[in-house]
A = this chain, B = another copy of it.
Amino acid sequence: MTLYEFAPSGNCHKVRLMLSLLGLAWRSVAVNGRDREQKSAAFLALNPFGQVPVLVDGTVTVRDSQSILVYLARRYGGEQWLPGEPAAMAEVIAWLSVASYEVWQGPAMVRAFHKFGREVDLARATALMTDLFAVLEQRLASQPWLALDRPTIADIAVYPYVALVPEGHVDLAPWPALVRWLGRVQALPGYVGMPGMAVTASP
């Protein structure tokens, strides 16, 4: 498998994390996000949206980090990471939507403002992040994992940009259940982190 990725991207990290949790071998092709290489003609042929990550597995090309998690879970992970039963699958998918919008426009943009100097409406991003963290805190105060009674790709999809908010100058102390959940993810067999992530005490 080949992963086209920009190393500092949290969306790319979630794919690296899933590959590692599943014990899969892969090679990396760097796409330089600072030079906007993901908008080059060569890359647009791979993904017309001009976004990393993209995973190529034999004849299969998958774009979009959430979609890549679905692919890896269904092809290599069996029922554990994304169950086929309709209600359970829908519960996981609902968190992928949260990863695509609330997580991306909230904590990921707060970080992007500080780390990459990206043009961001910081007040809006901070408000989205605060609302999101309140929902996550309430949820994780009463159950260990976001979607089901075990870790699923819902947790993997939401995790990176929460763990990376210290790079957005955000202190996670007001959300202790969220911090404990970060610790549970970090304790999963095969876990890999990336620079800039909050490192928590054991869960």
Contacts and interface: CB of A to CB of B under 8 A. Distances in A.
Interface centre among A70, A86, A104, by most chain B C-beta atoms within 10 angstroms, is: A86
Given A71-B87, A74-B89, A135-B48, A66 B97 contact: yes
Interface stretch (A19-27, A57-65, A168-176): A57-65
Nearest to A63: B94
A71 B84 contact: no
Nearest to A157: B97
Identical copies in the complex: 2
Interface string A58-101: 00101110111011001100000000101101110110111011
Given A70-B89, A87-B71, A121-B121, A96 B94 contact: no
A57 B87 CA distance: 10
Interface residues of A, number: 33
Contacts of A70: 86, 89-90, 93
Given A71-B90, A74-B90, A121-B121, A64 B139 contact: no
The 7 closest A-B pairs by CB, nearest first: A71-B90, A67-B94, A75-B86, A74-B86, A100-B100, A64-B94, A97-B100
9 contacts: A48-B138, A62-B87, A64-B94, A67-B90, A70-B90, A84-B84, A96-B96, A96-B100, A101-B104
